[in-house]
Amino acid sequence: MIRTRFAPSPTGYLHVGGLRTALYNYLYAKKHNGVFILRIEDTDQQRKIEGAVENLISTLKWTGIYHDEGPDVGGEFGPYIQSQRLSIYREHINQLIEAGHAYHCFCSTDRLKSLREQQIAENQNPRYDNHCRDISKDEAEQRIAAGKSSVVRMKVPTSGFIEIYDLVRGKVTFACDLLEDQILLKSDGFPTYHLANVVDDHYMQISHVIRGEEWLPSTPKHKLLYEYFGWKLPQFAHLPLLLNADRSKLSKRQGDVAVEDYLRKGYLPEALINFLALLGWNPGTNREIFNLEELIQAFSLKRINKAGAIFNPEKLQWMNSQYIRGLKPENLLKLASPYLPDDKSCQDWPKDKVGEILLLLQPYLSTLSDIPEKGSFFFNDPVLSENTELQDLIRSPEFHTVLASLKNQVVRVRILNSAAFHSMVKTVQQETRVTGKQLWTTIRVAIIGKEHGPDISKIAEILGKDRFLKRLDAALKING
């Protein structure tokens, strides 16, 4: 059975790169009727942040990615939090030491720092020099009994090559003399990622390890551990990096990278998932819009690219706008509610009118957080005297003439709707001889304070007769 896992560290927010890794693992498992597992790798206790696990789980659920096994849902291969599995790691460390595949290292932090500085000064590749590798097991035990602090390192062959087959990159070969004896167990008794992930992947029966390419250089060491334990190797697939436009690694310094940032800004989860799926994978067609079920059916590891993928915020905005346009009215109102102004300007509008406002704005929204700005003219009357760019129009004789004629038409109708509005504007055109763009721009500026926006007849209908006349009167007072 296909079994994949997403194994984040609870050190803060969920990075969009992490979400893409989770997504690819999820898609591959579901495509093959397999199991998707969430495992929390919290062996770095110093970097652990309170509440991060709960945040990770809730963020994944927001995107629609649900795990089959994990810390909150259980499963037959738990615990799914590494700090709860320390006895398992200790048992396997002892196995490696007994078999001669690992050893205690007593080198101090100062010695290792000095060694690194010297190697860099001599233009050498910084790495551990195997100083403690030949200490006998008896001597090591005596030092430990005497209170000496140590870590446990894995013995890596000093010559030869280790070959890895990667489902994305094909055959990759590593020279052993470039690999250092990796730390497997820290002095605090917690394992490093290298030991814990191998042990857990084996016992959780992970068939495919799908992770970021930053882990590719560590994979030969992981392969060695599988061989030392006599375990079957899973298949590996290392995903391309997410990059900024300048091809630097995507980082917080150059924009939002936390999934919750996009949630807060009003991106729809379906749009974010669709966008991330296409960063590093392509369906083999020009199609760009996929729902989650369609992604499951189309996904293939064979179509993952080797090259890094550019994270294009503008493309994400475009994709999000497509999903917003596809929302049904009741869903739009529900999702948009947190982004509406929370002051009296919005509370004065009845719910059905708010729904009409959102439907009118819908084609103009890239994110839901655009609503206050895009719909500002509904929630706040325009202050034309402060609009310095349009003063020539506002102070022109035609401005007053057109609005006075329009007011005479509006006061006569009982209900202001779109059809009636168009009829009135035709009458204004005949009375004032002002036509075309000048006519419509005059009305639009008076009512919403802008030269461009949604259909002004629809705006008039939503505003209603009383609000519309109030704005006309305010505009007429400027040069009346």
b/e 249-271 (16+ beta carbons within 10 angstroms → b): ebeeeeebbbbeebbebbbbbbb
CB atoms within 10 A of CB 151: 17
- CA distance linking residue 187 with residue 55, whole number of Å: 29
Q: How many CA atoms lie within 13 A of 338 on its CB side?
A: 10
> Can you say whether the dihedral through the CA atoms of 404, 406, 409, 412 is positive or negative?
negative
CB atoms within 10 A of CB 318: 14
Q: Any bridge partners for residue 162, and if so which?
A: 174
b/e 383-408 (16+ beta carbons within 10 angstroms → b): ebeeeeebeebbeeeebbbbbebbbe
- CA distance linking residue 11 with residue 5, whole number of Å: 18
Can 252 be counted among the known catalytic residues? yes
Per DSSP, helices labelled H in 291-390 are 292-298, 313-325, 329-336, 344-347, 351-361, 371-374, 376-379
What lies within 8 Å, CB to CB, of 386 at 6+ separation is: none
- CA distance linking residue 50 with residue 12, whole number of Å: 9
Per-residue three-class SS string for 168-214 = CCEEEEEEHHHCCCCEEECCCCCECHHHHHHHHHHHCCCCEEEEEHH
Tokens of 233: 């190797």
Tokens of 439: 């006519």
- CA distance linking residue 28 with residue 368, whole number of Å: 31
The H-or-E segment that residue 166 falls in is strand 161-166
Catalytic residue among 249, 252, 302, 426: 252
DSSP letter string, 7-64: ---SSSSPBHHHHHHHHHHHHHHHHTT-EEEE-B----GGG--TTHHHHHHHHHHHHT
> Can you say whether the dihedral through the CA atoms of 339, 341, 342, 348 is positive or negative?
negative
| Active site positions, annotated | 252
